[in-house]
Structure 1
Amino acid sequence: MKKIFLLLALPLLAQAQKIDKIITRSETERIETYLASDELAGRKPFTPGIEKAAQFISAEFEKAGLQKTNGSYLQSFPMYQSKVLSVAGGLDEQTLESKQVAIISKEATIQIDEKSGFEVASIKEGENFGQNAYRLMSAKKPTIAFLHESFAKYIPRLSGRGPLRENQATIIFVVANTIPTKFKVSATQQVEKLQLSNVVGILPGKSRPNEYVIFSGHYDHLGIGKPVAGDSIYNGANDDAAGTTAVMMLAKYYAKKRNNQRTLIFAAFTAEESGGHGSVYFSKQFNPDQVMAMFNLEMIGTESKWGKNSAYITGYEKSSMGEILKKNLVGSPFTFYPDPYLDQNLFYRSDNATLAELGVPAHTISTSKMDSEPNYHKASDEIQTLDPDNMTEIIKAIAKSATSIISGQDTPSRVDTTKLK
């Protein structure tokens, strides 16, 4: 029995020795430290900080020897930035105040009433605001949504939602406890057409070049906000400089090995925090039937609820991908678990969602304790709060667990789109 176990363990041992020389703590820490530095000022879209981050990621992809697309690692696309200048109107017999309204639109002038043909929706007291607001903001038809006054505190956040897509439908949120019989909203906006960029590198497959495996994370964050204890920079060390670092380290690892049978695509997405715009644009560049798997890496810089050498996979039950990853880690100390935070709806809240909704086995890997993460979306999300040793081991585990998928030996089952949401 000892001899049989030794024979089974030898390939895993040899793989571990090779991976330890490529995915190192020092290299992981070097990349993470820069992405989470004050120099990048929180990597908010349309700022110099996110431009510097994109240049840095591109340079690292260049050093690794990844291929470009159309002569560049930058996958650029148009977006719109809008700023409300004035709001007026009424609800039944009451005057509408600007603080009651949030507008998501790329239109310079908005004039609507109950006869304008807008879809009418509401979010009632006690309902899940996050889930309902996300659904409404993704609506394809112009919509006006009336929010219970208990959600009035979210109006500033909705108003500052960020860049808008080319096909963005006008969505208007209004604080009102009931849906009025008559309403009127008039607004003017300053609208500017700008560009955002994902950073994408490619490692062509040897025998299955038209079958793709994607490794992704988002490199944007919240930028500069209200000072807390004198610190106004939201560095986003865990969210998601950690995931982006993992993507870059995996790119270096697979580029060194160059034995991938399927084509590997490494993507750092922009504007995840303001609507997932980068991953939405990215997903439209592919025939989803050719994407065999997507590893989306989000907030892996801290220990999971199970401690070291562990992480969870969102939407675990929606495909066989999790079971394949676990199989490839037999004999190692690392364990993948199903997402324990189902009430947080994480499967639909990250950059895996767009491709998953098209049937791709696209899942997010994370360690974030979403019921108690102390630095989530705070200025305190800095590199000092991370565990670089554990983070490095997580990246190694992802590399090992993906082995049979990138070789073509295993293909995860597709997500059943009829059972989503």
Structure 2
Amino acid sequence: MKKKLAILSLGAVLLSCKTSSETSTPEISEESLQTHIEVLASDDFQGRKPFTEGEIKTVNYLVDQFKAFGLEPGNGDSYTQEVPLVELTAKPSETMTIEGNGKKIELAVLDEFVAYTERVVENTSIEASELVFAGYGVVAPEYNWNDYEGLDVKGKTVVVLVNDPGFASEDSTLFKGETMTYYGRWTYKYEEAARQGAAGCLIIHETVPAGYGWSVVRNSWSGASLYLDQTGGSYQPEVLGWITRDAAIRIFEASDVDMKNYAARSRSEDFKAISLGLNASVAVTNEIKRDQSRNVVAKITGSEKPDEYIIYSAHWDHLGVGPEIDGDTIYNGAHDNASGTATMLGIAEAMAQMDQPKRSVIFLAVTAEEQGLLGSKHYAQNPIYAPKQTVGNINMDGITSFGPMKDLTVVGYGQSELEDIAEKIAAKQGRYIIPDPDPGKGYFFRSDHFQFAKIGIPALYASGSYEHMTKGVEYVDSLNLIYLNTQYHRPQDEYHPESWTFDGMALDGTLLMEVGLQLANSDEWPKWKEGSEFKSIREK
């Protein structure tokens, strides 16, 4: 999940980077980019969901393209890496019942709550489980913060806020202020609840701190979901879920505890978790299906340092066939992420025509990003190329489709020296570099580069998405809003030939290719910057 809409306009882009022999590089073909997106985002590919016919067609297409470019298999003699997944189709009870203090509330599934489980079991539930409000649900020693201090939640259900205490605090020294840390991500909330032994964890949804509306929660956490199929995995709560803000207020009003200004109180250093004096009951039934999905991986072997690697990544998957919206059920995922996959293919095709780089360059199209970065997570846990020998990761997820951008927006700005390389190349294109203007939404933790960062590999996630070359900021902002409100994670994220053009995509592709070429033809080892939570991992 992500993302901002990125925008582009008409015109051809000639690549300006040089190989080690100083010859001009081949051009990233706008026609090829268009073809890749037309194919990958077509109804015939059925939304590219793992475990479907859409996966088979997508993987075959990517392998065929890498072969046609002349790239080598990236996993021994294979172009794929198997990713064992389990598909759980959760069917929660129609209502979640909240009782206590002489009152009874029934929340309606999908409209007021979603519930599921990551346990690979046919049936699970919480029954009369004590509700405890645990603020942001954060244990962060480096910030001297522990919402669970002195609290025993074993067998209980914690109710927590999305994002972290710094958000909306107007205090830049509280966590990272408006910039979301990993403690603000929904994945962290569940992980911490599991470590604390909770039976259930419910996250209170609010659009601004979450970064997406309730419809995204409803669509993403209902029906079939995929998880890595790991035996002997870590403990998981019985039930995980989300509730709407209105549902949370109904619960708080039924409690005999004063919950006024609950969000502001949760940002206080003296916050203490509160038992609400209420119990929750809900059941989840699972349909279980195990299968193998696949990452697709191809390679250009380095001429001088073949055991040092630069990895380009993009996720090939989307949401498949889902609930009907405005008469359509195929979630084509044109922007998210046929655009990034097509850009990676464009870079691979161009690099394959160049002189052999000194270091090896890897192209990794990963599966199941939409289900929790699972393909990249599996790669990080089972790397084909040693992390300590991997120079950096360049990730593409949601690349411009309506015009060339004057900016290069870096998600996670200030994290690594890769952005310094990108800034110099952007300047050659007449562009400037900026941090993500909406850091509170936590985009840095919502795409596949994050899994590389978690194992210490410096990662760059950047594209033009703020200011159009000729039409300015407001034009881009209006289109971003349209995308987020009417297309993101909906069937309406489709390729529209009347409005999509490909020069901006080629411009971003050129920049990201030049970053990779500079790394591939040098001795540079970009580092994490001071203050990055990933610096110590790399240094180990």
Higher RCO (CA < 8 A, seq sep 6+) = 2
Q: Tell me whether 293-302 or 114-123 shows the greater mean CA deviation.
A: 114-123
**Once the 2 structures are TM-superposed, how far is the Cα of residue 23 of structure 1 from its aligned partner?**
1.6
Compute the RMSD of aligned alpha carbons. Answer: 3.5
How far, CA to CA, are the matches of 2:339 and 2:36 in structure 1?
A: 9
The one of 33, 45, 48 aligned to 1:43: 48
Q: 1:50 to 1:126 in 2, by over 3 A?
A: closer
* Native 8 Å contact 2:163 2:184 kept in 1: no
The one of 276, 283, 295 aligned to 2:394: 295
Instruction: Report the secondary structure of 1:315's partner residue.
Output: coil
1:266 aligns with 2:303: no
The one of 401, 407, 410 aligned to 2:524: 410
Instruction: Report the secondary structure of 1:121's partner residue.
Output: strand
Report the counterpart of residue 291 of structure 2 in structure 1.
194
Deviation sequence 1:71-93 (CA, Å, 0-9, x none): 32121121111123564885444
Instruction: Report the secondary structure of 2:350's partner residue.
Output: helix
The one of 241, 255, 265 aligned to 1:173: 241
AA in 1 matched with 2:424: K
The one of 131, 148, 160 aligned to 1:123: 160
How far, CA to CA, are the matches of 2:375 and 2:155 in structure 1?
A: 27
* Native 8 Å contact 1:303 1:367 kept in 2: no
How far, CA to CA, are the matches of 1:14 and 1:125 in structure 2?
A: 46
AA in 1 matched with 2:83: F
Report the counterpart of residue 255 of structure 1 in structure 2.
352
The two structures have a TM-score, normalised by structure 1, of 0.83
AA in 2 matched with 1:134: T
AA in 2 matched with 1:55: N
The two structures have a TM-score, normalised by structure 2, of 0.66
How far, CA to CA, are the matches of 2:442 and 2:242 in structure 1?
A: 25
Deviation sequence 1:12-44 (CA, Å, 0-9, x none): 57669833x442112222222211112112212
Instruction: Report the secondary structure of 2:382's partner residue.
Output: coil
* Native 8 Å contact 1:270 1:279 kept in 2: yes
* Native 8 Å contact 1:213 1:291 kept in 2: yes
Report the counterpart of residue 57 of structure 1 in structure 2.
62
**Once the 2 structures are TM-superposed, how far is the Cα of residue 348 of structure 1 from its aligned partner?**
0.9
How far, CA to CA, are the matches of 1:318 and 1:149 in structure 2?
A: 28
Q: Which has the higher helix share?
A: 1
The one of 97, 100, 115 aligned to 1:102: 115
Report the counterpart of residue 4 of structure 1 in structure 2.
none
Deviation sequence 1:342-393 (CA, Å, 0-9, x none): 1221111111111112322112123346852523333332222432122122
* Native 8 Å contact 1:238 1:386 kept in 2: no
* Native 8 Å contact 1:321 1:361 kept in 2: yes
* Native 8 Å contact 2:405 2:465 kept in 1: no
Q: 1:402 to 1:84 in 2, by over 3 A?
A: closer
1:76 aligns with 2:82: yes
1:204 aligns with 2:301: yes
Report the counterpart of residue 348 of structure 1 in structure 2.
445
How far, CA to CA, are the matches of 1:119 and 1:207 in structure 2?
A: 58
How far, CA to CA, are the matches of 2:162 and 2:405 in structure 1?
A: 40
Q: Tell me whether 227-236 or 337-346 shows the greater mean CA deviation.
A: 227-236
AA in 2 matched with 1:59: D
Matched ranges for 1:208-223 at <5 A: 208-223=305-320
Report the counterpart of residue 189 of structure 2 in structure 1.
136
Instruction: Report the secondary structure of 1:283's partner residue.
Output: helix
**Once the 2 structures are TM-superposed, how far is the Cα of residue 46 of structure 1 from its aligned partner?**
1.9
Matched ranges for 1:234-245 at <5 A: 234-245=331-342
AA in 1 matched with 2:456: G
Q: 1:36 to 1:150 in 2, by over 3 A?
A: closer
Deviation sequence 1:287-330 (CA, Å, 0-9, x none): 432221110011113357xx535432211211111111222455
How far, CA to CA, are the matches of 2:437 and 2:114 in structure 1?
A: 35
Report the counterpart of residue 493 of structure 2 in structure 1.
381
Matched ranges for 1:146-165 at <5 A: 146-148=202-204, 154=217, 157-160=220-223, 162-165=225-228
How far, CA to CA, are the matches of 2:51 and 2:339 in structure 1?
A: 21
What 5-or-longer segments of structure 1 have no aligned partner? 1-10
**Once the 2 structures are TM-superposed, how far is the Cα of residue 149 of structure 1 from its aligned partner?**
8.5
Instruction: Report the secondary structure of 1:216's partner residue.
Output: strand
Deviation sequence 1:216-235 (CA, Å, 0-9, x none): 11111122334444433222
Q: Tell me whether 43-52 or 320-329 shows the greater mean CA deviation.
A: 320-329
How far, CA to CA, are the matches of 1:257 and 1:55 in structure 2?
A: 25
Report the counterpart of residue 315 of structure 1 in structure 2.
412
How far, CA to CA, are the matches of 1:326 and 1:126 in structure 2?
A: 29
Instruction: Report the secondary structure of 2:55's partner residue.
Output: helix
Q: 1:309 to 1:285 in 2, by over 3 A?
A: farther
- Number of matched pairs: 408
Report the counterpart of residue 372 of structure 1 in structure 2.
481
Q: Tell me whether 379-388 or 279-288 shows the greater mean CA deviation.
A: 379-388
